[in-house]
Structure 1
Amino acid sequence: MRLPAAACLLLFAAANAHAQDADDAPSFDRPGIGFSTGTVPRGALALELGLPSLERDRDADGVLSTQYSSDITLRVGLAERLELQAFATPWNRLQVRPRGGPTYTRRGAGDAGLALKLALPTGSDRHSVAVLASSTFATGDRDFSEGGTQYALGASYEYAFDDRWSGALYANAVRGAGADTFTWSPSLSVALTDTVSSYVELGFTDTDGEPSTAIAGAGVTWMLRPRVQLDASFDLGLDNASPDLQAGLGVSFYFD
């Protein structure tokens, strides 16, 4: 997606979301490593955009890589507790600066995919669980593609300690494109005001044939309007194999 088109889409979405009347804030999946346990009601839509995200890392050879990526997720309610998601990273910019060598830049689109999310009944207001099954297709440019179809199955569990504090545990397994990956992440969230919330998180990833990684970070969300959420987040690498810094800004809209 070109930046002017993205700006037009953002303005259109904001105008339509402002025109809606709603008292309850929807449950968005961004930001953070995991996803929320809520689903979009039948016939409703949620649009979640990264504006963009940043990943920076310096490897053992002193090569500094900086990548900017935009991501977009469209969530459509199919039935009670069931939604369809379509996602993509339409714009990426990677700058690589080798030690003692010339800097070069790559641009292109990333992969796209589809997912189904199901919220499971728990019989309790304090407990909530959702599962997400997805397929990602190698539609992106070479520098930003996994090079093959990937299949993933994730689960998220949330527990509300009280009206302000909640905890979550996320796990996700990915298979395909020549590697199997397992990620899990605990997090703790707090509602600071009626419209502002914050969280802290840890993330651990194991990939076949590669070193394990660990990150830690935090984020904040602000319900600018009842159906418009702004977010900011960051994660720092806790070991040499992890990216040094991951950060992002985002906006999410809800329509029914």
Structure 2
Amino acid sequence: MKQLFKITMLTSVVFSTGHVFADSFSFDRPGTGFGTGITPVGRLAWEQSLPSASYTKASIANDQQQSVSLQEDMVFRTGLTKDMELQLGWAGPTWLKTTQNGKKTTVNGSGDMSVGLKKAVDLHDDRMTMALLGQVVIATGNQEFSNHDNIYAVSSSVQYAQDDILTTGITMRYEMQNSDWAVTAVPTLSYKLSKKWSGYSEFVYRKQESEHIQTSVATGVIYALNNRMQFDASIGAGLSGDVPDYKGGFGVSFLF
């Protein structure tokens, strides 16, 4: 009942935004933030990593430890109304190799699942769009790849088209896990390179209660094969000791 109440409260926040509109559809891959587009009613969007990878090199008790991981996360989105969509996500199968003092350890398993509702917000502006996302990350993954406790989050995304080439935006995410709060801010730049090619750059700032500030940067390119399929590639680097030193990967998205 307690979890149901929290989910209901998140859903109420997303729904209580007054009159809304349906923005033109766009995939949310790649990047940490999300776009303001809504999947059309009766259509299904599948966004899949192929996979994503991360590399960490840290010093633990004067010992050098290196970790390499591969993860095939995915998100399914489907339109419920012209301005609202349902999202189902899975952190996917994950492979992790850790090397410390010459000893190698390899584990694999699957990550957590998530469910969310995304709703477009009408700002009555030709250039600015906005969407809200209520989400629950359910701790269903294996021990090594799970958050261990459910995460309840509310996020917002605002995008502003400076012109036909450049769009600026910011995603704000507020999380609660076992009464501990975390906030993440993701300012982004999206730019059109040609008819089929585009790119993005982002800065990620995250502060979790009782933890150090985490920051990272990332950039990537997107190739739109057509209106229903795109490929992407991205690379990023952590700027603080509590995040992976390097991360990147490839992805593909389909609209059925």
TM-score, with normalisation over the residues of structure 2? 0.87
Quick one: which of 86, 89, 101 aligns to 2:88?
86
Q: CA deviation at 1:37?
A: 0.6
Is 1:58 paired with 2:57?
Answer: yes
AA partner of residue 167 (structure 2): S
CA-to-aligned-CA distance 1:180-233 (integer Å, 9 cap, x gap): 221101111110011110111111111112111111120111101221100011
Name the counterpart of 1:28: 27
CA-to-aligned-CA distance 1:69-98 (integer Å, 9 cap, x gap): 001111010001100000002200011111
Q: Distance in 1 between matches of 2:91 and 2:200?
A: 25
Name the counterpart of 1:168: 169
Q: CA deviation at 1:235?
A: 1.2
Work out whether residues 25 and 40 of structure 2, in 8 Å CA contact, stay in contact via their aligned partners in 1.
no
Percent identity over the alignment is 34
Name the counterpart of 1:22: none
Q: CA deviation at 1:159?
A: 0.2
AA partner of residue 35 (structure 2): S
Name the counterpart of 1:190: 191
AA partner of residue 88 (structure 1): W
* Higher mean C-alpha deviation, range 191-200 or range 233-242: 233-242
Name the counterpart of 1:44: 43
Q: Distance in 1 between matches of 2:197 and 2:178?
A: 39
DSSP 3-state at the match of 1:143: helix
Q: CA deviation at 1:239?
A: 2.3
DSSP 3-state at the match of 2:210: coil
Q: CA deviation at 1:241?
A: 2.5
Work out whether residues 99 and 105 of structure 2, in 8 Å CA contact, stay in contact via their aligned partners in 1.
yes
Work out whether residues 187 and 200 of structure 1, in 8 Å CA contact, stay in contact via their aligned partners in 2.
yes
Work out whether residues 160 and 168 of structure 2, in 8 Å CA contact, stay in contact via their aligned partners in 1.
yes
Q: Distance in 2 between matches of 1:254 and 1:131?
A: 21
Quick one: which of 83, 97, 100 aligns to 2:99?
97
Work out whether residues 70 and 90 of structure 1, in 8 Å CA contact, stay in contact via their aligned partners in 2.
yes
Is 1:220 paired with 2:221?
Answer: yes
Work out whether residues 26 and 227 of structure 1, in 8 Å CA contact, stay in contact via their aligned partners in 2.
no
CA-to-aligned-CA distance 1:86-144 (integer Å, 9 cap, x gap): 0002200011111x141101100100010000010111220000011001111111000
Unpaired runs of at least 5, structure 1: 1-24
AA partner of residue 253 (structure 1): F
Work out whether residues 128 and 158 of structure 1, in 8 Å CA contact, stay in contact via their aligned partners in 2.
yes
Name the counterpart of 1:249: 250
Q: CA deviation at 1:176?
A: 1.2
Work out whether residues 168 and 188 of structure 1, in 8 Å CA contact, stay in contact via their aligned partners in 2.
yes
Name the counterpart of 1:151: 152
Q: Distance in 2 between matches of 1:177 and 1:29?
A: 28
Q: CA deviation at 1:157?
A: 0.4
DSSP 3-state at the match of 2:92: strand
DSSP 3-state at the match of 2:31: coil
Q: Distance in 1 between matches of 2:173 and 2:127?
A: 22
CA-to-aligned-CA distance 1:9-54 (integer Å, 9 cap, x gap): xxxxxxxxxxxxxxxx840011011000111111111110011111
Name the counterpart of 1:16: none
Quick one: which of 54, 74, 77 aligns to 1:75?
77
Q: Where do 4+ consecutive residues of structure 1 move more than 2 Å?
A: 177-180, 239-242
TM-score, with normalisation over the residues of structure 1? 0.87
Q: Distance in 2 between matches of 1:53 and 1:104?
A: 20
Work out whether residues 54 and 244 of structure 2, in 8 Å CA contact, stay in contact via their aligned partners in 1.
yes
Q: Distance in 1 between matches of 2:176 and 2:236?
A: 24
Work out whether residues 48 and 253 of structure 1, in 8 Å CA contact, stay in contact via their aligned partners in 2.
yes
